[in-house]
Amino acid sequence: MIKQGMKPIHPGHILKELYLEPLNLSQTTAAANLGVARKTLSMLLNGHQGVSAEMALRLSKAFNTTPELWLNIQRNYDLWNAAQRIKLSGIRAFHKPQDTLPQAMLTQR
Protein backbone atom coordinates (compact mmCIF):
# COMPACT_ATOMS: atom_id res chain seq x y z
CA MET A 1 0.00 0.00 0.00
CA ILE A 2 1.20 3.51 -0.77
CA LYS A 3 2.26 5.75 2.11
CA GLN A 4 -0.24 8.33 3.31
CA GLY A 5 2.13 11.29 2.69
CA MET A 6 1.73 13.85 -0.05
CA LYS A 7 -0.86 13.34 -2.74
CA PRO A 8 0.68 11.78 -5.87
CA ILE A 9 0.63 13.81 -9.06
CA HIS A 10 -1.93 12.80 -11.70
CA PRO A 11 -0.25 11.13 -14.70
CA GLY A 12 -1.78 13.72 -17.02
CA HIS A 13 0.06 16.49 -15.19
CA ILE A 14 3.33 14.56 -15.48
CA LEU A 15 2.70 14.00 -19.18
CA LYS A 16 2.07 17.70 -19.72
CA GLU A 17 4.91 19.08 -17.56
CA LEU A 18 7.67 16.56 -18.30
CA TYR A 19 6.92 15.54 -21.88
CA LEU A 20 4.63 17.81 -23.88
CA GLU A 21 5.89 21.20 -22.68
CA PRO A 22 9.65 20.44 -22.92
CA LEU A 23 9.12 19.08 -26.43
CA ASN A 24 6.92 22.07 -27.29
CA LEU A 25 4.13 19.72 -28.42
CA SER A 26 0.57 20.94 -28.71
CA GLN A 27 -2.30 18.76 -27.55
CA THR A 28 -3.47 18.51 -31.14
CA THR A 29 -0.09 17.28 -32.40
CA ALA A 30 0.38 14.87 -29.52
CA ALA A 31 -3.14 13.46 -29.85
CA ALA A 32 -2.70 12.90 -33.58
CA ASN A 33 0.60 11.10 -33.02
CA LEU A 34 -0.91 8.95 -30.25
CA GLY A 35 -3.86 8.06 -32.47
CA VAL A 36 -6.46 9.42 -30.03
CA ALA A 37 -8.98 12.22 -30.16
CA ARG A 38 -7.79 15.62 -28.92
CA LYS A 39 -10.59 15.54 -26.35
CA THR A 40 -9.33 12.18 -25.00
CA LEU A 41 -5.85 13.61 -24.47
CA SER A 42 -7.27 16.81 -23.00
CA MET A 43 -9.29 14.80 -20.47
CA LEU A 44 -6.11 12.98 -19.40
CA LEU A 45 -3.99 16.13 -19.23
CA ASN A 46 -6.61 17.90 -17.10
CA GLY A 47 -6.97 15.01 -14.66
CA HIS A 48 -10.50 14.05 -15.71
CA GLN A 49 -9.45 10.67 -17.07
CA GLY A 50 -6.84 8.10 -16.09
CA VAL A 51 -4.23 6.21 -18.06
CA SER A 52 -5.64 2.97 -19.48
CA ALA A 53 -3.51 0.02 -20.56
CA GLU A 54 -4.00 1.08 -24.19
CA MET A 55 -2.95 4.67 -23.47
CA ALA A 56 0.07 3.42 -21.50
CA LEU A 57 1.19 1.49 -24.58
CA ARG A 58 0.73 4.55 -26.78
CA LEU A 59 2.58 6.86 -24.37
CA SER A 60 5.44 4.41 -23.92
CA LYS A 61 5.98 4.21 -27.67
CA ALA A 62 5.71 7.97 -28.23
CA PHE A 63 7.97 9.01 -25.36
CA ASN A 64 10.38 6.06 -25.20
CA THR A 65 9.26 4.92 -21.76
CA THR A 66 7.57 1.74 -20.57
CA PRO A 67 3.84 1.08 -20.24
CA GLU A 68 4.54 0.09 -16.63
CA LEU A 69 5.77 3.60 -15.87
CA TRP A 70 2.42 5.12 -16.83
CA LEU A 71 0.36 2.38 -15.20
CA ASN A 72 2.35 2.65 -11.96
CA ILE A 73 1.87 6.41 -11.85
CA GLN A 74 -1.88 5.88 -12.36
CA ARG A 75 -2.03 3.05 -9.80
CA ASN A 76 -0.26 5.13 -7.14
CA TYR A 77 -2.59 8.04 -7.81
CA ASP A 78 -5.69 5.82 -7.62
CA LEU A 79 -4.57 3.99 -4.46
CA TRP A 80 -3.77 7.20 -2.62
CA ASN A 81 -7.16 8.70 -3.52
CA ALA A 82 -9.02 5.52 -2.57
CA ALA A 83 -7.20 5.41 0.78
CA GLN A 84 -8.48 8.92 1.49
CA ARG A 85 -12.11 7.89 0.86
CA ILE A 86 -12.36 4.38 2.29
CA LYS A 87 -12.57 3.57 5.99
CA LEU A 88 -10.62 0.35 6.62
CA SER A 89 -10.74 0.33 10.42
CA GLY A 90 -13.88 -1.85 10.53
CA ILE A 91 -12.36 -4.59 8.36
CA ARG A 92 -10.65 -7.48 10.09
CA ALA A 93 -7.99 -9.64 8.47
CA PHE A 94 -8.73 -13.29 7.73
CA HIS A 95 -5.92 -15.72 8.50
CA LYS A 96 -5.51 -19.11 6.88
CA PRO A 97 -4.34 -21.85 9.26
CA GLN A 98 -0.59 -22.35 8.82
CA ASP A 99 -0.48 -26.08 9.59
CA THR A 100 -2.72 -27.29 6.75
CA LEU A 101 -1.55 -27.80 3.18
CA PRO A 102 -3.94 -27.36 0.25
CA GLN A 103 -5.28 -30.69 -1.07
CA ALA A 104 -3.58 -30.09 -4.43
CA MET A 105 -0.17 -30.01 -2.76
CA LEU A 106 -0.84 -33.26 -0.90
CA THR A 107 -1.71 -35.16 -4.09
CA GLN A 108 1.42 -33.98 -5.97
CA ARG A 109 3.78 -36.15 -3.91
Pairwise CA distance, residues 46 & 12, whole Å: 6
Whole-prediction pTM = 0.81
Least Cα distance to 34 among 42, 76, 74 occurs for 42
Specify if 104 maps to a domain: no
> How confident is the model at residue 5, as a pLDDT?
76
Specify if 51 maps to a domain: yes
Conformational region of residue 82, where left means phi above 0, alpha means psi within -120 to 50, and beta covers everything else: alpha
Specify if 35 maps to a domain: yes
Least Cα distance to 34 among 65, 11, 10, 57 occurs for 57
Considering only CA atoms, give the Rg of the chain: 20
Pairwise CA distance, residues 81 & 40, whole Å: 22
**Residues, the chain, total?**
109
> How confident is the model at residue 103, as a pLDDT?
67
Supply the range of the domain harboring residue 69: 11-86
pLDDT tens sequence for the chain (109 residues): 455 678 999 999 999 999 999 999 999 999 999 999 999 999 999 999 999 999 999 999 999 999 999 999 999 999 999 999 999 999 999 998 876 666 666 666 5
Structural domains of the chain, count: 1
Specify if 56 maps to a domain: yes
Write the CATH number for 30: 1.10.260.40
> How confident is the model at residue 85, as a pLDDT?
93
> How confident is the model at residue 24, as a pLDDT?
98
Specify if 21 maps to a domain: yes
Specify if 95 maps to a domain: no
